[in-house]
Each structure stands twice: as C-alpha cells, then as structure tokens.
A and B are shown apart, each in its own frame.
Chain A
Amino acid sequence: MSLRTFIFGLAASFGVAWLFIIVVPFIKLRNLEPIRLNEATDGTTGIFYPKRTGRITNGALVYAENGCYLCHSQLIRPTYAGNDLYRSDWAGLKADPDRGDTRRETNIYDFSGEKFAQIGVSRMGPDLSNVGLRVSANYSTGGDPAKWFYDHLYNPRQDPKLWKSTCPPFRFMFSERLITGNPSNDAIAIVDDGKKEILPDSDAQALVSYLLSLKKDQAVPAVLNFAPPKNKG
C-alpha cells in the first residue's frame, strides 16, 4: 500500500462520516424555514420563529463565556427519551393561569438564530429552558424577577429555597461603588453602613436579560405540538 493510497483512504473514511454527520446537518439546521402558524389549529397567526435581539443576544454570549452550559442544560427531551418534561416546571408551567399546561419538548426552532445551541454538557444544575418563566412564577413571587436573578448570581445560596445550590457566585460581574447622594435603583445591596452600593455590571445585566428571556411558552405550530389528543392546543 503506497502512502498515497493510505492518505486517500484515511481522508475518505473520516471525510464521508464528517460530511454526513457534521456538515449536512449543520447546513440544514443553519437555515431553518420558519413554520407559519394558523388560527384554526394553533390559536394565533404569524410565524414560529423565536427571535432574540439586543441585550439578550449579548447575554447569550456571556452565558457561553462563563461556561454556564457546563452545569445547565437547555433541552427538554421528548417523553420517549427521558422524563424531563414532567420535572418540576422545567419544561414550562404545569398550571399557567391563562394557558393551562404549557410544558413542551424543546425543538430545533428554539435555537434558531443563535450562535450556539446551548443544549448543555451536564446537569449539575437544573435545566434552564424555562428559567425566566419559572423564576417569575415560583421564586420572585410578587417581586422583580431581574432582582432575584441579580441576587442569585451574586450569591446563589441567598434564597432559602436554594440553600443547597452548588452554583458558583459570579461576583466579578458586580462592582462596589461609593454612594454619593441617593443610592442607585439598580443597586442589589447597600454595604458598609450605607456608604457603598453593589451594582450589576453590563455583563450581569446582559446575562439576566438573557435568562429572563428563557421562556418557551409561545404557541407552537401543530406539527411540533405533541400533546396527547385530549390536551391538544
């Protein structure tokens, strides 16, 4: 066997696999055709194409830079592949006051337009597919969910419900500032006998905007709606 044949064979055996398992799916998933919603089956019109813009997009980058995906997934598997769907409010709210059960599987459109599909590496922490929805409904009841997120990033064990949290604090995203005049409205805490305030930096603001945007409760087109017939909707 000549070196030429060997190199050709090596390239072919790895190249074909790379082509069909990486390249073709990449191109196909990169340019998703949005699905049109219709009033009769989906209850709304428009297109199914969740879009993120502005600070939320910046927040997605902060999420990636800080390795949140190492512990947090954003993937609710269909029921034949796991039990994520019925874990406490991971996949949506069990009893949304208006829409009833909003729990659903993650589909590829949930990641459309994103630089990274943050499906996650491990589940040291809870799934974040619907963390924006969950925090407003369960944790920051009555309060500002953004404030709850800032507190949580500054000290993940601050909420008594989360005393066991293993999430590392992200204090480097906050800065201390001497108060001159009135404290800022954005201050998450006043320290040093009222002399200093702790303020979220732009990274923290972007990240919290992104986390608040993680709500998968919009109407899904009938082709992606796998609810059992009696609950279809």
Chain B
Amino acid sequence: MTEPNSKPDLEDSINVTEAHAKVVRDAAACVRENRIVDNGIGPISLWAMVACGFILLVAGGILGDGGSLFAYGANFRSGYVRTPAGGAADSGPVPKEALVAYSAKGSKIYSAKCNGCHGSDAKGNGSTFPSLVGSAWVNGDTERFAMIILNGLQGPVSNGTTYGVMPPQGIGMAPEDLAGIMTYVRNNFGNTKGDVITTDMAKAAIEISAARKNAGNSVTGEELTADYLKPLPGAVLDPKALLDPITLAPATAP
C-alpha cells in the first residue's frame, strides 16, 4: 500500500460506485444524527416557556404586592390598618368617665412633678410647701390655677402666708398633662370640685401663659388677681361623659 494521495484518481483499485455509495450513506447517517437531541442541549419547547413565564408573572405580582425588596426597616406593609373582627367582638380600650380618665393621667404627672414638694397627700409640709387641700387658688378660677402650675409662684399664697418660691412646671408640659394634673388635684385629696379641665382649656392656658407680660418670672398673687381671675376658655365637658382613657377622645359605651 502506498499513501492514498499519492495515487492518481480513477485508478483501477478505486470503485467509484462503491465510494459514492459510502458518501451517500455517511451523509444519510449525519442527517439522522442531527435529529437526535442530546439531553440538556435541546431547545426549550414553547409550552414550557409559557408555563414558566406564567409562574414568574404570578410570583412577581406577589413579591411586588408584598412591598419593596430589601426594605429592611419596614416590618409591616405600609399603611397597614388591622381589619376589624367580625361582629361587635372588636372593642377598643374600655371607655372611662371623663373625670376618671383625666385624673388617671393627672395622677401620673402628680407623682412625677408635684409629689416631691406638696407630698403624696398634697398637704405640703406647713413651712416651705403649702397645702393644696382646700386651697382657694386650687379650687377657684381655673385660669389662675393654670398660671401657677405653668409659671410657678412667689410671694404670699391665698391664705396670706409666704412659703418658698414654686418653680415653673410648664416647661415641656403637654396640654393633656396640664389638663390631667388640674383635674386630678381639684378632685382628689379632699378637693371635690367635680369639674373636668379639658385638653382644649389646657391648650388655651398654655397660650395665655406664653403671652404673659413678664414671661420667665414666677407669677405673684397681685398679677394673678389682676389678670387671670377667670375660668379658662373652652367648652365645659360633662364629668360623666365617656372618653377613651388613652387619647381622651370621646368614646361610646361598648
């Protein structure tokens, strides 16, 4: 045998028909093999694409509805408000009578701000701290009482005695705090005024106090008598009206 290429074409040893038949056979085999699809490299059929697309569409809708991705600070859906329970089962905090609700707030402020000087029984100590029990200024006109709490007091008090200087308590005091403390003191420790100082009245008192002529100094008896001898403006609230004990907003009986 010599090298195939060294032989000239169409030699006797080459059967052209046979060689042709072999080429045709191989080509046919190639065509057949092309139809065989190997696992994993075949094209994805259209129905699988459509099915996956549908799943992605649904999943995307659910994810998108759940809020933005990677919003780590948000633990609840924004604007979420609880769906109320069916029927009348879902009740808020038990409504309380206005006097009770305001006094409950006031008692907390009293123990924080007033207790230290006036004492837990509000009787003071007789020498530096006056008693609040039966005091004409506590039980009298509400605007005068509010001015004393907000600005403090110097000089003689309602019974003529001069006690120590009372520091102002109004700094950072919210209207509901002032309303609570006034209602509490006027209806406890033996004081029985029976009226409620509302948040609106307290708001007005804070405004009046801010507009004082000599703001920053404690009020004196003369100033109180001259300027503040009147009840606080604002609608009077029935002490028996039912309120939400936290927000002090009107509530209805459950």
Contact = CB atoms under 8 A, between A and B. Distances in A.
A100 B75 contact: no
Interface residues of B, number: 29
B76 A226 contact: yes
Contact of B82 (A39, A45, A228): A228
A40 interface: yes
A95 to B, nearest CB: 7
Interface string A201-233: 000000000000000000100001011111111
A136 B66 CA distance: 37
| Size bin of chain A's contact surface | 35 or more
B137 to A, nearest CB: 26
A114 interface: no
B176 A39 contact: yes
Contacts of B83: 79-80, 228
B70 A98 contact: no
A223 B239 CA distance: 31
Contacts of A40: 174, 176, 247
Contact of A228 (B81, B108, B246): B81
B136 to A, nearest CB: 29
Contacts of A86: 85-86, 89
A227 B85 CA distance: 11
A100 B77 contact: no
B247 to A, nearest CB: 6
A85 B82 contact: yes
B143 interface: no
Nearest to A225: B82
Task: Output the residue of A97, A108, A226, A233 with the most chain B CB within 10 A.
Answer: A233
A14 interface: no
B68 interface: no
Contacts of B90: 101, 228, 231
B96 to A, nearest CB: 10
Contact of A43 (B80, B82, B84, B246): B246
A231 B76 contact: no
Contacts of A105: 76, 82
A85 B90 CA distance: 11
A228 B90 CA distance: 10
A233 B91 CA distance: 10
Nearest to B175: A40
B76 A39 contact: no
B47 interface: no
A109 to B, nearest CB: 9
Given A101-B90, A230-B92, A78 B177 contact: no
A154 to B, nearest CB: 34
B177 A39 contact: yes
A90 to B, nearest CB: 12
A233 B245 contact: yes
B75 A80 contact: no
B93 A78 contact: no
B49 to A, nearest CB: 23
Contact of B105 (A39, A78, A79, A100): A39
Contacts of A226: 76, 80-82
A39 B108 contact: yes
Interface in A39-86: 39-43, 45, 78-80, 85-86
Interface in B5-35: none
A228 B70 CA distance: 28
A24 interface: yes
B165 interface: no
B72 A25 contact: yes
A231 B176 CA distance: 20
Given A24-B72, A233-B93, A78 B77 contact: yes
B254 interface: yes
Interface of B: 70, 72-73, 75-77, 80-86, 89-94, 105, 108, 174, 176-177, 244-247, 254
5 contacts: A43-B93, A78-B82, A228-B84, A230-B92, A231-B92
Ranked 3 nearest A-B pairs via Cβ: A231-B92, A43-B246, A79-B83
